[in-house]
Amino acid sequence: MKFASTIRAAALVTAVALLPVTTASMAAVDGRAGSEFGKLFAVYQRIKSSYVEPVEDDKLVRGAIDGMLSALDPHSAYVDGSSLQRLTTLIDGNYQGLGISIQGEDGAIKIISPMRGSPAEEAGLKAGDYITHIESKLIYGMEIDDAVAQMRGPAGTDITITIVRPGRDDPFDVTVTRGVIELEPVTHELQAGNVGVISVNEFSRDVGNDVLDSIKALQREASGRLGGIVLDLRSNPGGSLDEAVALSDLFLSKGQIVSQRGRTRGENVSYRAETVFRGDVVEGMPIVVLIDAGSASASEIVAGALQDQGRAVVMGERSFGKGSVQTLLPLSRDSAIKLTTARYYTPSGRAVQEGGIDPDITVPQLSDPDAAKRAKFRYRESDLRGHLINEAAITDKDLEKDNQDDPRFKLTAAELKDQGIEDFQLHYALETLRRTSKTVVASSGAE
């Protein structure tokens, strides 16, 4: 596939292709475009001659490029230097810092999600929080790379950041002790009732094989036949398209996994299950996929594929809605543009962009005491200024489900804590699979 590298961008991780840009294609403009470029040059000349201070050409050109790309959508951008290096280098080992994914929004820094088990999560940072100060210094308008550089540092050192949290009146300081962020894309655990939980934290290299290894390990650990699998994609910002396809292919015997469509023929690609080599590795075993508002990009590809193929029940909350493809187009040896070139579609033809994946069963995170308060401040692709529009996009109002009458949905966070339930969404998924497993066993015995 042409997606040559996996990137961890400052906001969401996505698959990026490397394609050349020819001088001829860059130079080809029609008469109308030439007129518009005349305006651009006139502004350049006026600034050079009349601005209160001398301005270097590279600053003006960079500003013009940034302006053009930011006018398109939130994910198209000009990258060079350290930004380009971060985009084109696959993160395999570890780094020292806080462990958060962030997004620039109108000059502010917004947390997409803290990584599971990271110092940021342990310190109580949450998706949707805004970082306004680092060590009491205002960072509004700061470049993402500069903010990332300030937050990273030796493990064991402290950093104090100021947080503005929707639903809370006043800003507050949080001191986080930096740690070594071990990039464990896949973890697994066997739960009671022979139900396996596989957590996929990001779609970096070899995630498909890592999930397969987890399945085999769970099958060895189970006392008897494995009764079901919870595939936990919550707060997973995405990653390699290839790995999303590989993971989906583990559970599908045939059919389409995902397609992408763009303006050029080369961007129209369909990815299908490789039935000749693999098939469904768990042979129809019940699967629940957990998603939430932090599940984006590659996570949505997997959830949408398994949902449309009828292979899994999707539970949780509507996903982020990052359904666009970014291609990295080199301009020179040390600069490039990251340009949105296509949209993703699920096997049934649903556009992932903006609307995201609607779960089959909406399950709130009741074990979070602040969940209800923050619900109206959920942060998704549709909240980004200038995002690509999907006319068929759904809204939270569309997600009202009959299962909200379930008596378990009436429990408070305190009541759940008294019952020893730390993660209600996971608990609900496990209980569903256990009931399914018992029903299957009972039916087999009757025969």
Compute how many other C-beta atoms are within 10 angstroms of the C-beta atom of residue 172: 12
Q: Which of 239, 222, 233, 214 is nearest to 92 (CA)?
A: 239
Residues sharing a CB contact under 8 Å with residue 388, sequence separation 6 or more, in sequence order: 73, 324, 340, 343, 353, 354
Element (H, E) at 306: helix 298-308
Question: Active-site residue 308, yes or no?
Answer: yes
Q: At what angle do helices 298-308 and 241-250 cross, to 10 degrees?
A: 30
Asked whether the beta carbons of 186 and 211 are under 8 A apart, the reply is: yes
Q: Is 44 exposed, middle or buried (0-12, 13-18, 19+ CB in 10 A)?
A: middle
Of the residues 73, 210, 242, 308, only one is catalytic, namely 308
Strand pairing report for 228-232 and 287-291: parallel
Is 410 a catalytic site residue?
no
438 is catalytic: no
- Residue type at position 14: T
| Residue 63 to residue 221: CA distance in whole angstroms | 57
CA of residue 356 relative to chain centroid, distance: 11
CA distance linking residue 86 with residue 201, whole number of Å: 19
For 8, the token pair is 């961890």
Q: Are 207 and 200 in contact (CB under 8 A)?
A: yes
Question: What is the CA 255 to chain-centroid distance, rounded?
Answer: 24
For 380, phi then psi, to 5°, come to: -140, 180
**Cα 425 from chain centroid (whole Å):** 19
Nearest one of 274, 295, 314, 400 to 352, comparing CA atoms: 295
Q: Which of 113, 248, 297, 367 is flagged as catalytic?
A: 297
CA distance 259 to 261: 7
b/e per residue 370-394 (b: at least 16 CB within 10 A): eeeebeeebbbbbbbeebbebeebb
CA distances to 89, 153, 205, 276 from 92, rounded to whole Å, are 9, 18, 8, 30
Exactly one of 76, 322, 338, 382 is catalytic; name it.
322
- Find, among 313, 290, 320, 233, the residue nearest to 426 by Cα: 290
Residues designated as active site: 297, 308, 322
